[in-house]
Amino acid sequence: MIRKLLFKQNLVLWVIAVGSIIVPFFLPNKYFQDIAVMTFLWAGLATSWNLYSGYCKRLSIGHAAYLGIGAYTSSLLYLNFGISPWIGMLAGGALSAVAALIIGGTTLRLKGTFFVLSTIAFAEILKVITITSKEITAGALGLMIPFKPAFANMIWHGKIPYAILTWIYMIIVLMISVKLEKSRLGYSLIALGENQQAAENLGVNSTKSMLIAFIMSAVLTSFGGTLFAQYVMFIEPTSVMSLTNSVNFILLAIAGGLGTAFGPMIGSFILTPVSNLLRGYIGGISGLHGFILGMVLIVILLFKPDGILPQLKQLFRNLFTKREKSGKGV
């Protein structure tokens, strides 16, 4: 009976995920459509982050690095060689895979605390390298992508096409996440996140599992980075590879539910619009926005570290079990 409940639960979540595509079409103007684009994009990004960090509970606080690799690779290839961002996206993914392989290979076996610190260090180093390699990356001045709408350029008029693109990105990453949860790799990750030694005793090769998941996470985040660059059309190191971005991945995933396929999406659906609208209203007072976000994260961590998805699931269970015949037991 619980199986059917879980199935229905996932069904509802899928309906929300798939149905959300219609939202942008009903939004009144570009301001709100922009929020929709960012909501879908960050849902995809947070889900990508969650693929590794959420399931095996080793938080990477430096994922903005892969965002940056994706954004910069596709942009540089486009600006310097005219290569379509669609291809550039794949190139960025390849580069991220290599980076994740090297970084992961060396740091994944470190104890939790050290691993987290190393992820931050890597992101910072990447940022510094990007700023100092001025000849290639234009450093702190940033890169501007000229507005030449065409499908091949991944540039369109208006926001709706971008909303569709980022929605597709989110759906793809969600599908990967759901598939992962029902796979050997997923089970290995969750088990080693709970108790690494016990997992290894059951045949889980934790190093290999973590590395694969880490690379997947990096590559998918990198794809999102390309989408990001093509949408905002201007990227520079301190805003793309920032700690704020890295924290945002985590904030959204934790708020919705760490280590669940749909958690990060829910987190983004709630927090991204709220955060953007907030910025709109109180943007005048510098610092207030960040202050509130920080407070929100603190409150979540102190009082609801499992995110709100468990709450929602409980609500769901209550709704459905009341209608079921009694006596079956839950």
Partner 1 sequence: MLLKIESVTKRFGGLNALSDVSLEVEQGTVIGLIGPNGAGKTTLFNCINGTLPVTEGKVIFDGIDITRKKSYEIARLGIARSYQIVQPFGNMTTLQNAMVGGFCKTKVYKEAEKIALESLELVRLDHKRDVVAKHLNLGERKKLEIAKALSTQPKLLLLDEVMAGLTPTEVQDMVRIINNINASGVTLIIIEHIMEAIMSLSKRIVVLNFGKKIMEGTPEEVSSNQQVIEAYFGVEDGEQDA
Partner 2 sequence: MEQILQVLISGIFSGGIYALASVGLALIFGVVGLVNFAHGEYLMLAMYIAYWIFNISGLDPYQSLLINLVAMAVIGYITFKVIMERVLDSDHSIQMLLTLALSMVLQNFALMCWKADYRNIRIDLTNDTMHLGFLTFNTPRVLAFLIAISASILLYLFLQKTFTGAAMRAISQNGKAAQLMGINIKRTYCLAFVIGTTLVGLAGLLLSPIYPAYPTVGASFSTLAFIVVVLGGLSSVPGAIVGGLLIGVIESFAGYFAGAAYQQAAYFLLFILVLIFKPNGLFGRS
CB 213 within 8 A of CB 61: no
d(CA 2, CA 9): 10
Partner interacting with residue 294 (select from partner 1, partner 2, none; CB below 5-8 Å by kind): partner 2
CB 16 within 8 A of CB 167: no
d(CA 19, CA 277): 22
Partner interacting with residue 204 (select from partner 1, partner 2, none; CB below 5-8 Å by kind): partner 1
d(CA 226, CA 124): 20
Question: Does residue 310 touch partner 2 according to CB under 8 A?
Answer: no
In sign, the C-alpha dihedral spanning 229, 264, 248, 68 is negative
Query: Can you spell out the DSSP letters for 99-126?
Result: HHHHHHHHHTTS-HHHHHHHHHHHHHHH
Q: Could you tell me how far CA 211 lies from the centroid of its own chain?
A: 18
Question: Does residue 111 touch partner 1 according to CB under 8 A?
Answer: no
Selected binder of partner 1 within 110, 149, 194, 238 (CB under 8 A)? 194
Selected binder of partner 2 within 287, 318, 323, 328 (CB under 8 A)? 287
Selected binder of partner 2 within 10, 32, 57, 161 (CB under 8 A)? 57
Question: Does residue 99 touch partner 1 according to CB under 8 A?
Answer: no
Partner interacting with residue 198 (select from partner 1, partner 2, none; CB below 5-8 Å by kind): partner 1
Number of residues that bind partner 1 (CB under 8 A): 21
Q: Please, which of residues 267-286 interact with partner 2 by CB under 8 A?
A: 285-286
Give whole-number Cα distances, 243 to 203, 225, 280, in Å. 36, 15, 22
Nearest distance in Å: CB 29, partner 2 = 29
DSSP classification of residue 183 = S
CB 126 within 8 A of CB 69: yes
Q: 234 forms bridges with which residues in the sheet?
A: 144
What are the tokens at 51? 């693929």
Kindly tell me which of 88 and 267 has the beta carbon lying closer to partner 2.
267
Kindly tell me which of 203 and 287 has the beta carbon lying closer to partner 1.
203
Nearest distance in Å: CB 131, partner 2 = 7
d(CA 60, CA 50): 9
Single out the segment in contact with partner 1 by CB under 8 A; choices: 95-103, 111-119, 167-175, 190-198: 190-198
CB 123 within 8 A of CB 243: yes
Single out the segment in contact with partner 1 by CB under 8 A; choices: 147-155, 198-206, 283-291, 311-319: 198-206
Q: 235 forms bridges with which residues in the sheet?
A: 143
Q: Please, which of residues 153-182 interact with partner 1 by CB under 8 A?
A: 182
Partner interacting with residue 250 (select from partner 2, partner 1, none; CB below 5-8 Å by kind): partner 2
Q: Please, which of residues 144-173 interact with partner 2 by CB under 8 A?
A: none
Q: Interface mask (CB under 8 A) for partner 2, residues 111-140, using x and -?
A: xxxx-xxx-xxx-xx--xx-xx--------
Instruction: Indicate the burial class of 304 (C-beta count within 10 angstroms; 0-12, 13-18, 19 or more).
Output: middle
d(CA 38, CA 32): 10
Which chain residues interact with partner 2 by CB under 8 A?
57-59, 61, 106-107, 110-114, 116-118, 120-122, 124-125, 128-129, 131-132, 243-244, 247, 250, 254, 285-291, 293-295, 297-298, 301-302, 305
Binding site for partner 1 (CB under 8 A): 2-3, 182-184, 187-188, 190-191, 194-195, 197-206
